Structure 1
Amino acid sequence: MKHIVVFTGAGISAESGLKTFRGSDGLWEGYRVEDVATPEAWKRDPERVQHFYNVRRKAVLEAKPNAAHLALVALEDKYRVTIVTQNIDDLHERAGSSRVLHLHGLITKAQSDINPSLTYPIAGSEIRMGECCELGSQLRPHVVWFGEPVPAMGTAIGICRQADIFIVVGTSLQVYPAAGLLDEIPVRAAKYFIDPQASTLSRLSDVTCVDDKATVAVPILVEKLMA
């Protein structure tokens, strides 16, 4: 059975109504990234950071998987499919994908402030200040912030090296270290890049670029691969 690796970014979630990470003005929903997505921001003002992610989490829980998420699930009828995502939402899982690796964490979980390997499900949409892990430390979002290591990178590299077909959906391919995964794709693998600006952004060789949004292009590609 051939192995399809799908690498997804903010563009696929945006079509479910979730804001992309950073707008053209450099802000994330009105906030400077440095104020809400770094360890320094957490040390400086943990309540502000906690509130920011509580609001984002509520939006994630209210969002629904779109046609692109659902189409990727159908590939599992014919292929071994692994999704490697930069997104912190759980839309791939709720769509029904069985193998999803989150490079940057999962907003629907909490983690210990002092031991990131201690993670916990969240009841509802909020982590409250004063809620602590088993070590007595404050719980924070299970999200990899700027300046923090990406623990899943080693696993992701191994997955990408096994790809027979590699599909990129809704990412600019500019954010490192995740963008470095492109260097791990086997030369023999068939490659597809779906994004409204795919032809402009692509730095892959021998790639089929589809300059369209995910909800349009992914179902079409899936139908082609299932034929």
Structure 2
Amino acid sequence: MTRKKLIVLTGAGVSAESGISTFRDSNGLWENHDIRDVASPEGWRENLALVLDFYNQRRKQARECVPNEAHLTLARLEVYFDVQIITQNVDDLHERAGSSQVLHLHGELSKAQSTLDPKLIYTLDHWEIKEGDKCEKGSQLRPFIVWFGEAVPMMVPAINLARTADIFLVLGTSLKVYPAAGLIDYAPRQAKKYLIDPKIPDSPLPKDVNLIQEKATVGMKILEEILLKDLN
């Protein structure tokens, strides 16, 4: 029997439970920096050393964190479903938990990119990118991160994935942050849709979206029971 497609959009709330803070948190690690200073092409041009150090520290932190139960539950569900994860997170916790199909919308901390040729992408075997680290064409390496003001090249593949969903789950992110929040609108009308979010949404949810008002780790255990029960 063909397994149903479970398409999952994940965001910062999933990583936060593993100890990774984000700039959207009031106590987040980004708060000591203006976001434009460390996550924009302008910031890179104005202070390359600051940006490199900022992401080196994020990379080091991510390596010290471990996947949580939400990550692990998604990986377990691959036994029963064709699970495809679309993540706004730049860490590799989904992969380390065992998920085999992960699309990163906003780039990956564990990789570097040429500033001259964006197609030249390198997997890092350490946590630092230093000034003077260059690609094969001689240009400085930068973090493989989609910064503010830059295009999101993986958006089209993500939309195409959303269109294939039998079940669409939004986990650890609100339905307010676009363009990613719009992905649920591409899911087929007959697809079952779930949102796991501890906060009450500011505006009413679409009638076909089922809200599980819990943090990611707790909500995933509830949803796992629902999905496996539906299989029987």
- Normalised TM-score (structure 2): 0.93
Instruction: Tell me how far 1:35 sits from its aligned partner.
Output: 0.6
Instruction: Tell me how far 1:203 sits from its aligned partner.
Output: 3.8
| Identity fraction in percent | 55
Gaps of 5+ in 2: none
Q: 3-state SS of the aligned residue for 2:174?
A: coil
- Matched residues in 1 for 2:199 and 2:207: separation? 16
Residue identity opposite 1:182 in structure 2: I
- Normalised TM-score (structure 1): 0.95
Structure 2 match to 1:65: 67
Match of 1:226 among 215, 225, 228: 228
Structure 2 match to 1:35: 37
Structure 1 match to 2:136: 134
Residue identity opposite 1:155 in structure 2: P
User: May I ask how many residue pairs the two structures share in their alignment?
Assistant: 227
Structure 1 match to 2:93: 91
Residue identity opposite 1:23 in structure 2: D
* Cα deviations by residue, 1:66-118 (Å, 9 ceiling, x for unpaired): 00000011111111110000000000000000100000000110000122221
Instruction: Tell me how far 1:134 sits from its aligned partner.
Output: 0.8
Q: 3-state SS of the aligned residue for 2:198?
A: coil
Please report the RMSD computed on the Cα atoms of aligned residues, expressed in angstroms. Answer: 1.6
Instruction: Tell me how far 1:223 sits from its aligned partner.
Output: 2.4
Structure 2 match to 1:116: 118
Q: In structure 2, do the counterparts of structure 1 residues 26 and 73 end up closer, same or farther at CA, with 3 Å as the change threshold?
A: closer
- Matched residues in 2 for 1:110 and 1:97: separation? 22
- Matched residues in 1 for 2:203 and 2:23: separation? 17
- Tell whether the 8 Å contact from 2:195 to 2:209 is kept in structure 1 after alignment: yes
Q: 3-state SS of the aligned residue for 1:29?
A: coil
Instruction: Tell me how far 1:27 sits from its aligned partner.
Output: 7.8
- Matched residues in 2 for 1:104 and 1:188: separation? 29
Instruction: Tell me how far 1:186 sits from its aligned partner.
Output: 1.1
Gaps of 5+ in 1: none
* Cα deviations by residue, 1:173-195 (Å, 9 ceiling, x for unpaired): 22222222122111111011001
* Cα deviations by residue, 1:2-42 (Å, 9 ceiling, x for unpaired): 10001000000000000023234898231110110000000
Structure 1 match to 2:166: 164
